[in-house]
Amino acid sequence: MNPIEPSFNASQAAALKQTRFRWAVALVINLPLPFIALPMVGSDWVNQQPGGAGTNAMMIAVFVGLASVMLGLFARNQGYKSDWKADVIGPAGYIKGNTYFFATITAGSLGLFVLSVTGGWPAPTFAAAPIIIGLLIFNFPNGRPMLPTPPRFDGEGL
């Protein structure tokens, strides 16, 4: 057995495959949003005065982005807790928790997209998109929560 590559049983492997599919769907939804928002808004936003509606939209974007990330992480942990046994998360809890996370941050991203299109200013979508896409890439499902935690070496006994 390769110590770097974990081995999963059949139900864990199926859960990992489903979670990776849901991750890919969230990524496919979030990747094109800034490029769709720009042509829909047009070029009128370039001539907006500083300190106006654009500043308010950016403050809303920052708040919605942070709130969706925090809510998504909280929801993922609640999903994990639904199938937690000792120090291992079961496959159903793994799927549920990650689905909650992907759905929450994608909903925040779509909300900012709607704000950009209706407000006529694409900056909220452009500001949030790299952060949300980076979070999705950083949280690529690797299945480690479904594996037992290896014992830690604390240096005692030397």
Concatenate the DSSP letters of all residues of 98-138 into one string. Answer: HHHHHHHHHHHHHHHHHHHHHHT--HHHHHHHHHHHHHHHH
Cα separation, 107 vs 103, in Å, equals 6
> Rounded to two decimals, what is the model's pTM?
0.80
32-36, 39-43, 116-120 — which is least confidently predicted?
39-43
| pLDDT 10s digits, 66-109 | 888 899 999 999 999 988 888 889 999 999 999 999 999 999 88
Q: In the chain, where are the structural domains located?
A: 16-41+51-145
Q: Look at residue 6 in the predicted model and tell me its pLDDT.
A: 66
Cα separation, 158 vs 151, in Å, equals 16
Q: Look at residue 17 in the predicted model and tell me its pLDDT.
A: 92
Average confidence (pLDDT) over 51-79:
80
Average confidence (pLDDT) over 53-75:
79
Identify the band that residue 158 occupies on the pLDDT scale cut at 50, 70 and 90: low
CB-neighbour burial class of residue 118 (10 A; exposed 0-12, middle 13-18, buried 19+): exposed
Q: Look at residue 49 in the predicted model and tell me its pLDDT.
A: 57
Identify the band that residue 146 occupies on the pLDDT scale cut at 50, 70 and 90: confident
% of the chain beyond a pLDDT of 90: 30
Average confidence (pLDDT) over 139-145:
89
Q: How far is CA 153 from CA 7, 12, 87, 88, 103, in A?
A: 22, 27, 17, 20, 37
- At 19, list the tokens: 């979670």
Identify the three-state secondary structure at position 46: helix
**Choice between 137 and 38, residue whose per-residue pLDDT is larger:** 137
